[in-house]
Amino acid sequence: MKFLARIKAWWSTTGEPAHLRYGQLGERAAKKHLQRRGLKFLTANFRSPRGEIDLVFRERDCLVFVEVKARDRADEAAEAVTERTKRRIVAAAELWLAHHPDDIERDIRFDVMLVAPGRMPQHIANAFDASR
C-alpha cells in the first residue's frame, strides 16, 4: 500500500480530510529541514483572499516564501506546482509585504519544497520569480 493511502486510511478515522494531514506532515518536514539549514522561521500558512503561502522564512536579508508539495513521489510533487499556483503565491506575497512594511526593502525569493515518503525533502531555492 502506498504511503499516502496508509495516511488516508489512518486519518479517515479522525474526521479531518487526509490530504490536509498529508500536507501538514509535509510542511512540518520542510520547516525542520530549512531550519536545520539556518533559515529563520517566521510563519506558516499565511492566508489571504488571493492565495496562501505555506511557509515564510528569513535568510540573512532575504525573505523566503516557500511552497510545500507532499506527494507519493517527488516528481508528482514537482508537477503539482503549476503556473496558477505560482501566481497565487506571488499575489499572497504581495499582501504579506503590504502587512509587513519592514520587509518591503528586503530581497525576496520563492522556493519550493518537494516532500515524498522515505526521501529527504528536496529544496529548490529560487524555483520561480514574480516577473513571470
Residue 8: exposed, middle, or buried by beta-carbon count in 10 A (0-12, 13-18, 19+)? Answer: middle
* pLDDT tens digits along 70-79: 888 888 888 9
Q: What is the pTM of this model?
A: 0.83
Give the Cα separation of 65 and 127 in Å (integer).
10
Q: Is the model's pLDDT at 92 over the cut of 80?
A: yes
67 compared with 20, residue with greater pLDDT: 67
What per-residue confidence (pLDDT) applies to 123? 94
Split into its structural domains, the chain has a count of: 1
52 compared with 16, residue with greater pLDDT: 52
What per-residue confidence (pLDDT) applies to 62? 96
Task: Look up the domain containing 50 and give its range.
Answer: 3-128
* pLDDT tens digits along 96-107: 999 999 998 999
What per-residue confidence (pLDDT) applies to 75? 86
CATH (domain of 36): 3.40.1350.10
What radius of gyration, in Å, describes the C-alpha atoms of the chain? 15
What per-residue confidence (pLDDT) applies to 15? 58
Q: How far is CA 68 from CA 12, 15, 124, in A?
A: 22, 23, 10
What per-residue confidence (pLDDT) applies to 109? 96
* pLDDT tens digits along 8-38: 555 555 555 555 566 788 888 899 999 999 9
Give the Cα separation of 103 and 122 in Å (integer).
26
Give the Cα separation of 16 and 128 in Å (integer).
32
Hey, which residues does 40 pair with through a beta bridge? 58
